[in-house]
Every structure is written in structure tokens, then in C-alpha cells.
Amino acid sequence: MTEPTPILEGAPGHTEGHNVNGAVMIGAALAIKKAMDEFGLKGTLKVFGAPGEVQLVSRPYFVRDGYFNDVDVALHDHIGKEFGTVYGLRQYALISAEFTFKGQSAHAATAPWNAKDALDAVVLMDIGWDKLREHLEPTQRSHRVITNGGDQPNVIPNNSSIWWFFREATAEKTRALFEKAKRIAEGAAIMTDTSYSVNVLSAVWPTRANRTLAEVIQSNVEQIGMPQWSEEEQGMVHELQTKLKIKPTGMASKITPLKECVQSVSANDSGEVPWVVPTGLITFPSNIPGVSYHHWSAGVSLATSIAHKGAVAGAKAMAASALDLFLDPKLVAQAKETFQEEIGDAEYRPLLPPEQKPPVDLNRVIMERYRPAMREYYLKDKPVFS
């Protein structure tokens, strides 16, 4: 459990815990619906799944296309190492975009003068952005992978692509970064006599959380209490933390007090939602303190009783908070008031281009490659609901 031992070498997997996010949301929704039916509660419950959350694929498109227009308040859950909530500005804005350069291929040895090297354009864009970094504000974050560098060395590529993430503290600053990147891409194309196009895969505003909803959530979190961790669970956590050379604190034992958050440089596909509707966050304790997300160690807890206990607590908090809102329209009205105060005169404009379509094929190739071999390890038992 505390060693990097993949079930299937090279296959995709979870190294953060978004699989648990979905379980919490569905568990809460089932509980809320049951209470609504049994006690005749009035209102509408909507469940928005978020496949491809790390690629920011789902909710920006939901918001842009009007699916939140008739929503009064939204509750969002996310795995963490603590149990609680926050309010205020939480994360960065982000634009995810792939730049594709097109040129002309030729034999790399016998006739390179006949080529227009698309890979050279990608490399020049990468170098150009690297040279610009010194002159960008230190708050920005930008990173990339080359998604297509050609087929083989003796054929000069006529098509090559580089995929960028541009992050900043505000939507407008992120938009400005993206505009700089397009100018650098244009320069790279001019230098190599190639052409280029841009595909904006997704884009999000910074996430934020509403103060009124945070108070509702925190009240329920404190009534539910922290999961009780067994000696075996704490032993496994200590062992992993020790191997990773991080402080062996074990799982948290106390509820995290309500607090205003400090904006982090990460991003989430829920970023558009809290700019159009009051939004609350439930952080539930299903991962291990000190581990780094997107590292194998963040996948250790996800199929254990630690994740299950944290998920049950998170689902209870989400369900109870939603029921409070159904039962007390004044809370909803108050959330809307504080929402207006919090966003001030900010004018929401989607970072997504209006004609952009969601990249539903983004992970298709890797999933089609590995799914047949992965299917053997899928759970065979199906849940039974009483």
C-alpha cells in the first residue's frame, strides 16, 4: 500500500481522488432526494457531474451554455486532508490551449531546404515564452507539453503541436497571458514560414466560496464530527509519510475551523460557477496529509477505509447543508446578498470562445488502449440501496 505498485503499468489512474468526489456528490444527492420525498420538501435538486475535472472540461461549458441560469445556490465537494470549508477567493484562473503549427515535410537529409519545419516552430514558441518569463509578473504560472513532435527523425514534421496551461490570479490577467502567447506563436510561425492555429480546450475563472454558505456548511461539519481513524489506518498513514520524508502527523483528528482562504495557484473546473451563483465548498478528509497531488502517493488512500470514512462524512455535510437551504429560504436569500457583496462590480465574461466545443475525445486514445486490460480490475459487486 505504501509503495508505487501500479495495478497496470502505464495505465491512467487517480492520484488526487476525484473518484471519491463523485461518490460524495452522488451519496449526498440520494440522501437529499430521499428526505425530499419523505418529508415533502419543495424545491429542485440538480446534480452536475464533472468528468475531466483536471482538464477543466465540464463546468465551464455548463455555465457558458446556460445550465446554471435557474440555479439559486450550488454546493461543490472536493477531496482533501481536512474536514471543513472556507470562504473567499480560492484558486487561480486558467486557460488550456493547444497551438498547432503546419508547414511542409521533406527528407531531413536529402532535401531539408524544401521543408517548413513545424517542430522548429513549436520549439521557437517554447523558447520565446521562456525568454518572456523574466518580464511577467511573479504571480503567473505557465507550463506545457509537446503533444506532437513528428513521426521519425528523417522526416521533417509538417504538423506539430504544443499544449499550454496559462494561470493567473484573475480572469483578465489570464486572458492577457494568452494574448501574449498568441503573439509569440505568430512570431514562431513567421520565423519558420509556417502557419498556426489555436484550440482553446477549456478556460476557467478563479474559484471562490460564499461566506453565508460556508457558515451553513461549517455548522453541519461540526455536528457530524471528524471520522474516527483506526490504529491500522493511522499506522499506514505514518508509514507512508515517513517514506516520503514528510512530517508523520497521521490523519487529522480535529475539525478545521471556518476561515477565509488564501488564494492558491491551482485551478478547478468549477471556477465559472461561483461568479454566477452563490457556491459553497465541502472539503472532506479522504486523502493523506502532506502528500503531493498528481504523485503516486496521493493515490494510496483512495481505495481504503480512509477514503470511505471521509467520503461518508463529506456526503453527510453536503446533504445536511442542502436540506438546511431547502428548509430555510432566508438562508438562500442571505447567500444571494453576500454573493453580490463579494463579487462587487466584477462582470463575468466567459474565457471560453463562444463557438468552442468541449474536447470530449481528449483522453479517448489512452482509454481505448488500456480499458480492455483495466476491465479485469473493475469492481464486480454493484451497490444495493434499501
The CA-based angle 178-168-63, given to 5 degrees, is: 80
For residues 146 and 50, state if they share a domain. Answer: no
Q: Which residues fall within 8 angstroms of residue 301, CB to CB, at 6 or more apart?
A: 17, 237, 286, 287, 288, 307
Whole-number pLDDT of residue 370: 93
- Residue 361: give its domain's CATH number: 3.40.630.10
**Does 161 lie in the same domain as 69?**
no
* Residue 101 maps to a domain: yes
How many helices and strands in the chain, by DSSP H and E?
9, 9
pLDDT at 185: 98
Contact 258, 87 (CB under 8 A): yes
Give yes or no: residues 73 and 106 share one domain.
no
Q: Is there a single domain that holds both residue 101 and residue 179?
A: yes
Phi-psi sector, 344: left (phi>0), alpha (psi -120 to 50), beta: left
**Does some domain include residue 62?**
yes
Question: What is the pLDDT confidence band of residue 385, given thresholds at 50, 70 and 90?
Answer: low
> How far is residue 303's CA from residue 286's CA, in Å, rounded to a whole number?
10
Q: How far apart are CA 380 and CA 229, in angstroms?
A: 27
Which residues 6+ apart lie within 8 Å of 218 measured at CB?
A: 84, 85, 258
Q: Is 180 exposed, middle or buried (CB count within 10 Å of its CB: 0-12, 13-18, 19+)?
A: middle
The answer on 217 and 198 residing in a single domain is no
pLDDT of residue 301: 94
C-alpha torsion 252→253→254→260, nearest 10: 10
pLDDT recorded at residue 384: 74
pLDDT in the model for residue 233: 96
Q: Does 5 map to a domain?
A: no
Provide the percentage of residues in the chain whose pLDDT is more than 70: 99
pLDDT of residue 32 exceeding 90, the answer is: yes
Distance CA(311)–CA(285), nearest Å, equals: 7
What is the distance between the alpha carbons of residues 265 and 89, in angstroms, rounded to a whole number?
Answer: 11
Residues 6 or more apart whose CB falls under 8 angstroms from that of 67 comprise 48
In a domain, 384, yes or no: no
CA atoms within 13 A on the CB side of 264: 9
Q: Which range, of 8-17, 93-102, 133-142, 302-311, averages the lowest pLDDT?
A: 8-17
Q: Which of 15-19, 215-219, 306-310 has the lowest mean pLDDT?
A: 15-19
Tell me if 386 is assigned to some domain.
no
Q: Are residues 283 and 358 in the same domain?
A: yes
Q: What percent of the chain has pLDDT over 90?
A: 84
pTM over 0.85: yes
Whole-number pLDDT of residue 15: 86
* Cell (9 digits) for 110: 536529402
DSSP 308: H
* 75/106 same-domain check: no
Task: Using only the alpha carbons of the chain, give its radius of gyration.
Answer: 23
Q: Which pLDDT belongs to residue 386?
A: 62
Q: Which residue has the higher pLDDT, 357 or 319?
A: 319
Q: Are residues 23 and 101 in the same domain?
A: no
Band of residue 245 on the pLDDT scale cut at 50, 70, 90: very high
- The domain of 175 spans 93-204
Residue 106 belongs to a domain: yes
- Asked if the structure places residue 12 within a domain, the reply is no
Q: Can you give the pLDDT at residue 251?
A: 96
Q: Is the pLDDT of residue 123 over 80?
A: yes
Report d(CA 159, CA 348) in Å as an integer: 36
Q: At 78, is the pLDDT very low, low, confident or very high (cuts 50, 70, 90)?
A: very high
- Cα–Cα distance measured from residue 241 to residue 249, given in angstroms and rounded to the nearest whole number: 8
Same-domain check for residues 162 and 273:
no
Q: What is the mean pLDDT of the chain?
A: 94
Provide the number of structural domains found in the chain. Answer: 2
Residue 36: predicted pLDDT:
97
Closest alpha carbon to 77 in 209, 233, 251: 209
Q: pLDDT: is 226 or 13 the higher one?
A: 226
* 3-class secondary structure per residue, 229-270: CCHHHHHHHHHHHHHCCCCCCCCCCCCCCCEECCCCCCCCCC
Specify the pLDDT at position 130. Answer: 96
| Residue 132's CATH number | 3.30.70.360
Residue 352 grid coordinates:
471560453
Q: In terms of domains, do 169 and 68 share one?
A: no
**230 plus 346 within the same structural domain:** yes
* pLDDT value of position 13: 80
Mean pLDDT of 72-79: 96
Indicate the SS3 state at residue 128. helix
> What are the C-alpha distances in Å from 128 to residues 142, 184, 285?
13, 6, 42
Give the other-Cβ count within 10 Å of 335's Cβ.
Answer: 24
Is residue 383's pLDDT more than 80?
A: no
Contact 325, 331 (CB under 8 A): yes
Residue 190 belongs to a domain = yes
Residues 230 and 278 in one domain: yes
